[in-house]
Chains A and B, each alone.
Chain A
């Protein structure tokens, strides 16, 4: 009894239960197969891709669902015409050019979850390329530069100007600012 109490006091020193396996940074890297890319660009990998390369990736991997040039098909429209989004824009027309506020989200999401039925098959270069193609199709970049870890976070998205923090959230968490 006395030993058990002493033992639990020891285990709970510093308020910890001593449960769980410590991992090395290398082990964490191996588990982290689809690393997050933050709006700051943190997490973007080496590599790059151009609009022309992206057009080929898009045609092979994306067009079947999203239309020949991003106009939408069985699945979401990716290239936007109506800008800015107003309270009268049909949600069907929400797309990258008028609704997506951060360029890094494109890389994060495409690498993470696309193509829909076979996620994870694109190389980092292919992801950069298809991101370049989609930004170009939306009239956001002119295609003169490849997209990479340096250029992508610098791209200015039109929809960012419309994005605001929810007031209820702002009240509860006054320290939050949108990137």
Chain B
């Protein structure tokens, strides 16, 4: 008997079932296809402007920073401001997400912008989030040809652009958006929920930022909520 068969047979004998009972099969198929919502905290259930404020408060509570921008045209200047405020070289690495491609980077002459994944030598990266969750100040990023995962983890500073209208109240709303985009039962290779910059408390329970991933996380919120 293969290991697979042994494990499944032991489970079935412990549960006193054969595995072919129709009511059990129906129960799991229903749950998997209907994916009912459970208890969803009311915290994020509020009008869009207030939801955006909650998102900002929660990001800041997780040691991230945020800035509101009226339109995507303002992104290059805001990125340049950030780099200057941290005394960083004027260079960023970004993915080729269409929304990042559409940004007029050339407006900020001094800013060097390259695209592609990171080999570990980039200090600053810019990503575009699929959405965000106000409930806990969590950004949701998905991998794909235009969105290298390495940009989320290797650089010291991670700048994330998110459309204000994509800030949801709860995680469940974002799962619906992902199903709408990738299909039922399907997921992109990686979905990254990011809540603040990398941190560790493994030395005497002292909280330190920048453990292995980015030392700082800066969120650029674009447009009206």
A, B: real partners: no
User: B-contacting residues of A (Cβ < 8 Å)?
Assistant: none
Q: Which residues of B contact A (CB under 8 A)?
A: none
